[in-house]
Amino acid sequence: MDQEYDVIVLGTGLKECILSGLMSTNGKKVLHMDRNSYYGGECASLNLEQLWQKFRPNEEPPKEFGRTRDYCVDLCPKFLMACGNLVKVLLHTKVTRYLDFKSVLGSYVVKDGKVHKVPATPSEALSSGLMGMFQKRYFKNFLQFASDWDEADPKTHQGLDLNRVTVKQVFDKFSLDQNTANFTGHAIALEINDDYLNRPAKPIIEQIKLYAYSVSRYGNSPYIYPVYGLGGLPEGFSRLCAIHGGVYMLNKPIDSIVYDDNGRVIGVKDTEGAIARCRQVICDPSYVMGTDKIRRTHQIIRAIVIMSHPVPDTNNDSFQIIIPAHQIKGRRSDIYVLGVSYHHKVCANGKYIAVISTNVETANPVEELRPAVSLLGKYDILFHWVSDFFVPTGNGERDGVFVSSSYDSTSHFESATDEVIDLYQALTGKPIDLSISADPDDLQEQ
């Protein structure tokens, strides 16, 4: 502890581990600590016994669930966009050498209580049950426009300056009705609310292009997921950090972050009084509780459901289902359902795991899960919990303490990756190089 470092990282959640790996590869001297004896923090992965210890401490897992070591259940599971920025970070750092990925077999959206595959190509638009005959044609034309659009080629713009026109104006130009606009924005562009409708359209068209491109490269859905669950991701970045000289201390409680008289961070003090000195601190919200560095914005309810069958209307070993808020009267937040199974070696053969998540909007959050639970059919067991969502009140540049936000309710890493990219630039003053390709062959070769 009694040494000086460039950066001290507190917590081994995925965001913190990515940043410690990136900082160490930049030649920074990194100390990475966690109060827990395991990696993962808020997004840890649990075996069967740990799952029961957390949610039903006075019970034993049923024998029919199989061996405890066959389970690796993520508390905050998320899929990776196959050709997205997190995969590019993995390739850029070569952390993929420690991991094996498989594609997710389906991406779905709910309309009128029924599960439909998300159409991502013009041909899929024509066969989708989400739209009537005329809307299918309109949506096909829209997807063709999004696929062809190239900022450098005015011939693909159809008279639209996407840096100026809003998303709503683009939707209106192609005569997309509210239903089509809703699943396009929420299930393809992966926006979490309707604020995007009044923003410039370019980022949304780029997100739609990324979704469609990822589907075209991997075939079933735009998502991939690590074999043995997400636990390997923070461990992979931790290994990267250690290879470049980073020091790790698990099971190391922290007393406080130490500042100088000007309010600038100078180190971290452990519970025994020893101080490790540094110029910058990276941490998750749990390490600055009770301070003005974070504020709570809302709560999230999650549920882990273990079943003995695939989810009806998907019949897939892995999937994402999005229930847009507009499909539930009076609701403002989408509901996400992520499904994995033995296909990704996260549970016993014959078992299936679904994780539901959404923002809490009422005094009865369990009831808010009902639209998603009803899609699953009969289940073996369900665990649920509510957690607070915290965001940092500053970007860290003033005092040198850079705090990540909590993990949101989405079932993908797009927003989390954007935050890591922003934090890295704030820490270093330069962007991450994401010019690397993210094709399947590149992922396999690393």
Higher pLDDT pick, 437 / 257? 257
The DSSP string of 293-312 is: TEEEEEEEEEEEEEESSPPT
- Whole-prediction pTM value? 0.91
Residue (of 137, 119, 120, 115) closest to 128 by Cα position: 119
Which residues touch 26 (CB under 8 Å, ≥6 apart)?
A: 428
For residues 12 and 40, is the Cβ–Cβ distance under 8 A? yes
Burial of 313 (0-12, 13-18, 19+ CB in 10 A): middle
Query: Rounded to 5, what percent of the chain is helix, strand, coil?
Result: 35, 25, 40
The DSSP string of 361-409 is: -SS-HHHHTHHHHHHH-S-SEEEEEEEEEEEESS-STTTSEEEPPPP-S
For residues 341 and 349, is the Cβ–Cβ distance under 8 A? no
Burial of 68 (0-12, 13-18, 19+ CB in 10 A): middle
- Triad 95, 99, 105: Cα angle to 5°: 125
Residue 99 CA, distance from chain mean position: 17
Burial of 142 (0-12, 13-18, 19+ CB in 10 A): buried
Strand partners, 109: 116, 322
Domains and CATH numbers, the chain: 4-44+231-295+391-434 (3.50.50.60), 47-105+297-389 (3.30.519.10), 117-218 (1.10.405.10)
Residue (of 223, 230, 136) closest to 187 by Cα position: 223
Question: What SS3 class is residue 229?
Answer: coil
Query: pLDDT, tens digit, for every residue of 297-342?
Result: 999 999 999 999 999 888 789 999 999 999 999 999 999 999 999 9
User: Which band of pLDDT confidence, cut at 50, 70 and 90, is reported for residue 442?
Assistant: low
Higher pLDDT pick, 384 / 415? 384
- For position 136, what pLDDT does the model report? 93
* Tokens of residue 180, six digits: 């089509």
Query: pLDDT, tens digit, for every residue of 118-153?
Result: 987 888 888 888 999 999 999 999 999 999 999 999
If you average pLDDT over every residue of the chain, what do you get? Answer: 91
| Residue 347 reports pLDDT greater than 90 | yes
Average pLDDT rounded to a whole number, residues 417-427: 93
CA–CA separation, 328 vs 334, rounded Å?
Answer: 9
Helices (runs of H) and strands (runs of E) counted in the chain: 13, 19
Average pLDDT rounded to a whole number, residues 62-90: 91
Residue 90 C-beta-side C-alpha neighbours within 13 Å: 33
